[in-house]
Each structure stands twice: as C-alpha cells, then as structure tokens.
Chains A and B, each alone.
Chain A
Amino acid sequence: MDYLALYVTLKLALITTVLLMIIAAPVAYLLAYYRFPGKSLLEALVYLPMALPPTVIGFYLIIVMSPKGFVGRIWETCTGGSLLFTFLGITIASIIYSIPFAVQPMKAAFSKIDRRLLEASYVLGLSKQATFLRVIIPNSLSGIAAAAVLVFLHSIGAFGVLLMVGGSIPGETKVASIAIYEAVETMNYSAAGMIALSFIPISYAFLLLINRLNEDSRT
C-alpha cells in the first residue's frame, strides 16, 4: 500500500485545517457581525470555490502561481523556487478549495450568539478583539469544530485541483486520491482498493463526529 501518499494526504489535510481555521475566523466574524457596502459580493466570492469545478480553480491557480503569474513571480523573486509542483503549492490550493467549508459553519455559529452577550462584554470593558477571544470563540466551539472536521474531510478528498497544481510527485504532492487514480490507470486494482478502503473508516468516523457536534450545538 502507498503509505507515503496517505501520509501526504493526512499532512496536507491537517495543515490546511489548522491554517484555514485561523484565516477563516476573522472572515466569518466580519460576515456575521458587520454590514458594509459590497458585503454580498464578498460573501459570494468567499463561497465561489464551492460552486466552481475543481479543474477551473486549478486552472486559475496555475495561472497565478506559475513563474509568470502574479504570486509565482513574487515567490520566485523571494525564494528562487517555484510554487507549482510543491507541497506548499498544493497547500495553498487546498486552502482556497476549502475556504467555503470553513467560513460557512463558523459564520453560522457566530451569528447564533446572542448580541446582548457581546454588549454585556463591551460594557464590562472588553475590547472587540478581547470579546472575540473570550466570548465569541468559547461560545461557538462546536461550530468551529464542525468547520474543522468539514475542512479536513474536504481536503482529504481533493483531487482535480491538486493534480493540476501539484502533479504527482511521490512524498511531495502525490496524495492518496491521486495514488488511487494512478493505480487504476495502471490496472493495479488491489493497490487502489487498499487505499480506497482506508478512506472509509476515516471519513465515516469524522461524519459521526460532525453529527455529534451538530447535536451538541442544538442543545
């Protein structure tokens, strides 16, 4: 079995989840609590990766990350290397691919918090940032956990976008879903079956966890 591909998948999913939680929290906060011109446009933009085919996202990422692209050029000037076909490249792709799955549940959890709790916190002298950390986050833990699980599951399932941006370099960008595809292409059904089978308990366990978290947040 291709343990290396499984390792890359889990590493990618874990890093994506942690980074995305940090990136998505302020975005979700902004969308949940503020009204500003162009808000619906921003919101639609944040959710756009959910509505686009992964290959379309992959295509634009290639354009942006290639040495001639905006991000790729800056990266090459700074480090001398390329973003395409690297682990960092697929991490960025994975983050963009999963943004809606992080922002949406977090926004829902933040919106559910009683505004009066925030006002009580302000009156007690806490700044907006301190209120975010001491009141909003602790009261939306189940929503945040649900977002984390969704992002993790979505990341381990990514295929098209990663294949386009990262190719299939063993130990670097070859994730399990790509390993399955390649095994099937070469008629190696038993290898494909082994990796495929290892996904089922992981995904199933995480889905159970999501259900549990949703129930917790309802009570």
Chain B
Amino acid sequence: MTISASLKKRLKYFNVDISFSCAEENMLVMIGPSGGGKTTIIRMLAGLTMPDEGRILFGDEVWFDAAGCINLEPQKRRLGYVFQDYTLFPHLNLFENAAFAASDKKEVGELFELFKIGHLKKRKPHMVSGGERQRCAICQALARHPRLLLLDEPFSALDVITRRGLREELKSLKGSLSCPIIYVTHDINEALFLADEIMPVVEGKNDDGWMQRTTSRQSEEGSPTRGAREPRLALVY
C-alpha cells in the first residue's frame, strides 16, 4: 500500500503546503531545520492535527479529504508512531507498554529479544535509559502491526553512540517491514544512512535545494567538509 498526501495548513509563522507519497517497503526521510513543520506534517498523517486543505490516501482508503469532509480518527488509521520524546506510559512496565495495543503478547517478547531489552521487561520507563525507552517505543509501535510507520526524530534525545547503534538496528529492521516508513530528522548523516528517498522540508514546503545549500555552507565554514561532501564517510566521524 502506498501513502500519498497533499497537505495545506496555516501555521503562525508560515504555511505548510506539501505533497508527497511513500510506497510500501520504502523509507521516506523528511529532513529540514527544526521548526520547519516536519512534526506538523507527521501529526497530520497520524490524524492528531487536522489539515486546512488537502487529501491523505492510504492505498484506495481515504484518511482525510477536506473537500469531502472526511477525517478518519487516529484510532482507525492503524499506524505506528514513535514520538520525538519518550511517550511510554509511566504507570506500566516496559513489557506492558509494548503490549498495550498488541494482539499477540508472545510476539512482544520476540520483539524485546530482537531489540535486546528482554531483560528489562519488568522495569518501569523511568528506571531505564533513554535508548532503552526508545527501543521499547519502537516495539510498542511494531507490536500493533502498523500499516504505516511514523518515526519523528526518535533518536534525537540520545547520545551519539546509542544513536548510531539504534540507527543501524533500524536499518537492518527495515528490510523485514512491509509497510511504508516515514522518518523525520534534522540530521543529514542519519537521513543519508537510512533513506530510500529524501524530502527536505523548509518552512512547510518541499525544498530540494536545502541539502546542497546546507552542505556547501558547512564546507565554507570549514566544518567537517569531507563528511558533508561524502556522506558515507560522514558516518565514520
């Protein structure tokens, strides 16, 4: 199934006006400066924010259509959403969190093993590290068999090493997922490492030149130029 969206939304400082689509087994990475409307776009896909105009189609299912007054509730979209910061339920332990909406509890156990947090099942979210919490959040999203996976800067609050590890785990996991994945980040290296397709978003609009401008500006400033010009190398830094 392919998700395709064309969205318009008036915000305080700029307007979101963007169209894109993402096919199954594909990862679309939305990249751009902070405060550029990326999270708003993801929230519109999830049904948490209502666009002013536009349409969201998942296959031939209409999730949102301003003209037809259709707005499917987030509950009915059956998607996985990993938020920017940890939104695990504080009253539940990690296993209960991941199994919160899962149909098959056994599978949650397998996901925990896959993400190497099997030994932390009984811990509450505040008793584990940030990386472990985000691993659990990914398990929670996957345990529901999502039709679309949304990841909103899932690793941005983590230290570099944990982040790199998780990024690699996600990349290896990607092959086994059949749903479309939309990943939001402001980190160019992360985008280049993970993406099948990259969509730069600046002030709510698709800005294809942004990557090039940013990397060339970095080279003018004399920052890690080689890394910027040769993204594969940047992963080494």
Contact = CB atoms under 8 A, between A and B. Distances in A.
Interface of A: 114, 116-117, 119-127, 134-135, 138-139
A121 B47 CA distance: 13
A41 B83 CA distance: 36
A125 B90 contact: no
22 contacts: A114-B87, A116-B83, A116-B85, A116-B87, A117-B89, A119-B48, A120-B83, A120-B87, A121-B100, A122-B48, A122-B75, A123-B48, A123-B74, A123-B79, A124-B100, A124-B140, A126-B75, A127-B75, A134-B100, A135-B89, A138-B91, A139-B90
Interface residues of B, number: 21
A16 B207 CA distance: 62
A153 to B, nearest CB: 27
Contact of B144 (A114, A117, A125): A125
B90 A122 contact: no
A147 B151 CA distance: 39
B46 interface: yes
Given A122-B47, A124-B100, A138-B89, 12 more contacts: A116-B87, A117-B89, A119-B48, A119-B87, A120-B87, A121-B89, A122-B74, A123-B48, A125-B78, A126-B101, A134-B100, A139-B91
A34 to B, nearest CB: 16
B63 interface: no
Nearest to B73: A122
A123 B46 contact: yes
Contacts of B80: 123
B13 to A, nearest CB: 22
A126 B75 CA distance: 6
Contacts of A134: 100
B81 interface: yes
Interface string B6-44: 000000000000000000000000000000000000000
B88 to A, nearest CB: 8
B90 A124 contact: no
Contacts of A121: 89, 100
Contacts of B47: 122-123
Contacts of B74: 119, 122-123
Contacts of A120: 81, 83, 87, 89
A138 B96 CA distance: 13
List the 5 closest A-B pairs by CB distance, nearest first: A124-B101, A120-B87, A138-B91, A122-B74, A123-B81
A138 B75 CA distance: 21
A140 to B, nearest CB: 10
A107 B121 CA distance: 32
A123 B91 CA distance: 18
A120 to B, nearest CB: 4
Contact of A117 (B48, B73, B87, B101): B87
Contacts of B101: 124-126
Contacts of B73: 122
Nearest to B101: A124
Contacts of B100: 121, 124, 134
Given A119-B48, A120-B81, A120-B83, A125 B91 contact: no
B87 A124 contact: no
A124 B144 contact: yes
Nearest to B74: A122
User: By CB atoms of chain B within 10 A, which of A119, A138, A139 has the most?
Assistant: A119
Contacts of B91: 138-139
A139 B48 CA distance: 22
Contacts of A116: 83, 85, 87
A181 B140 CA distance: 60
Contacts of A127: 75
Contacts of B77: 123
A125 B73 CA distance: 9
B87 A125 contact: no
B232 to A, nearest CB: 34
A124 B80 CA distance: 7
